[in-house]
Amino acid sequence: MSPTPIFAADDVVVIGTSTGGVEALRILVGGMPAQFPAAVLIVMHVGHHDSILPSLLANSTRLPVRHARAGDVLEPGRILVAPPDFHLVVTRDEGSADGPGRFCRATLTRGARENHARPAVDPLFRSAATAYGPRAIGVVLTGMMDDGTAGLQAIKACGGQVMVQLPDEAQAPEMPESALRNVEVDRVLRLADMGRALEQMVEENMVAARNASREAPEWVRLENRFALEDGGMETLARIAAPSTFTCPECHGTLWELQGLSPKRFRCHTGHAFTERHLCAQQSEAVEESLWSAVRALAEKEKLLRQMADSAMNAGYPQTAGEYLEQAGSAQRSGEVLRRLLMTPGPEPAAA
Task: Dump pLDDT digits (tens) for 47-90.
Answer: 788 899 999 999 999 999 999 999 999 999 999 999 999 999 99
Q: Is residue 205 very low, low, confident or very high in pLDDT (cuts 50, 70, 90)?
A: confident
Question: Dmax over Cα atoms in the chain, in whole Å?
Answer: 95
Bridge partners of residue 272, in order along the sequence: 114, 266
pLDDT of residue 206: 79
Task: Dump pLDDT digits (tens) for 12-44.
Answer: 999 999 999 999 999 999 999 999 999 999 999
Note if 268 is an active site residue: no
CA-CA distance, 147 to 139, in Å (whole number)? 12
Q: Is residue 2 very low, low, confident or very high in pLDDT (cuts 50, 70, 90)?
A: very low
Which whole number is the average pLDDT over 164-175?
A: 98
How many other CB atoms are found less than 10 A from the CB of residue 302? Answer: 13
CA-CA distance, 92 to 103, in Å (whole number)? 6
| Confidence check: pLDDT of 351 > 80 | no
pLDDT of residue 19: 96
Of the listed ranges 75-89, 163-177, 251-265, the one predicted with least confidence: 251-265
pLDDT winner (highest mean) among 1-15, 134-148, 252-266 = 134-148
Catalytic residue, candidates 10, 18, 51, 127: 18
pLDDT of residue 93: 81
Catalytic residue, candidates 45, 67, 87, 271: 45
CA-CA distance, 26 to 119, in Å (whole number)? 19
Note if 87 is an active site residue: no
| Confidence check: pLDDT of 318 > 70 | yes
What end-to-end distance do the CA atoms of the chain give, in Å? 63
Closest to 147 in 3D by CA, of 281, 17, 33: 17
pLDDT of residue 122: 97
| Amino acid letter, residue 20 | G
Which whole number is the average pLDDT over 139-148?
A: 97
Note if 18 is an active site residue: yes
Q: Is residue 349 very low, low, confident or very high in pLDDT (cuts 50, 70, 90)?
A: very low
Closest to 158 in 3D by CA, of 203, 206, 209, 111: 209
For a pLDDT cut of 70, what percent of the chain falls above it? 91
Which whole number is the average pLDDT over 162-169?
A: 98
| Confidence check: pLDDT of 259 > 90 | no
Give, in words, the CATH class of 12-208: alpha beta
CA-CA distance, 286 to 294, in Å (whole number)? 12
Mean pLDDT across the chain: 90
Q: Please list the alpha-helical segments (H only) found in the chain.
A: 21-30, 53-58, 121-132, 149-157, 174-182, 191-208, 218-229, 232-239, 275-313, 317-342
| Confidence check: pLDDT of 199 > 50 | yes
CA-CA distance, 73 to 238, in Å (whole number)? 32
pLDDT of residue 14: 98
- The distance from CA 56 to its chain's CA centroid, rounded to whole angstroms, is 22
Which whole number is the average pLDDT over 143-148?
A: 96
Which whole number is the average pLDDT over 117-138?
A: 96
CA-CA distance, 303 to 317, in Å (whole number)? 17
| Amino acid letter, residue 160 | G
Catalytic residue, candidates 11, 147, 268, 271: 147
Bridge partners of residue 264, in order along the sequence: 274
Buried b or exposed e, range 181-212, using 16+ CB within 10 angstroms: ebbebbbbbebeebbebbbebbeebeeebeee
Measured over the CA atoms of residue 176, residue 180, residue 181 and residue 185, the dihedral's sign is positive
Domain boundaries, the chain: 12-208, 278-342
How many other CB atoms are found less than 10 A from the CB of residue 329? Answer: 14
CA-CA distance, 134 to 213, in Å (whole number)? 7
Long-range contacts of 163-166 (CB under 8 A, 24+ apart): 163/137, 163/138, 163/139, 163/187, 163/188, 163/189, 163/194, 163/197, 163/198, 163/201, 164/139, 164/140, 164/188, 164/189, 165/24, 165/139, 165/140, 165/141, 165/189, 165/190, 165/191, 165/194, 166/190
pLDDT of residue 1: 41
Which whole number is the average pLDDT over 301-328?
A: 95
